[in-house]
Structure 1
Amino acid sequence: MFVLELTYTAPLDAVDAVLPDHVAWLERQYDKGLFLASGRKNPRDGGVILAVTGDRAEIEEVVATDPFVTAGMCSYRVIEFLATKTAPELERHRQTLG
């Protein structure tokens, strides 16, 4: 599982101009089953996405296609972790230590 932390590198008015494209990109990732949750940070200096896949290369490829990235609006910090404990609703994503 991955935590994707976005940090804006452009003013908010520029970010907002690209936001509809970013939201459409998010929807495509949800449709693929890749993203579980996402939202703005508070204060609004970026966002956070919770993603599921066992493949870091896949996540990095997906992140590179975010319109915020291609437009130079943000940088990403990709944090990989093992979700060894989850809420019942996320049980299918639970991982074991190998």
Structure 2
Amino acid sequence: MELPPFDEDGLLSSGDYEMSLEELKGSMLVERPEEGYPNWDSGWRMKLIENLEVMVGQLLRVGITEIFVNGSCVEGKDHPYDIDGYFECDVVEFATENLQRE
């Protein structure tokens, strides 16, 4: 998926952008936007995505497929500190701890 360029505030336009981890790794969010950002830390961003990949694998193993990434990692910041994110799951499965048992 091709992402839109960052706006003047370094943000993507509002919305969800469905991507695989491989697409994310090859996107401007890791590689660097086409213009500007001479201090873009692609290596650090890739490390964050590799760590995300571990967590995504754990979530997928218990049946969670709706996983969202947010925060400075999806903004025009040269060196984001971390990745913010969340996932959606069935509240009954979570409350009864069935997810933890799988």
TM-score, normalised on structure 1? Answer: 0.30
Q: Which has the higher strand share?
A: 1
TM-score, normalised on structure 2? Answer: 0.29
Which structure is richer in relative contact order (CA contacts within 8 A, separation 6 or more)? 1
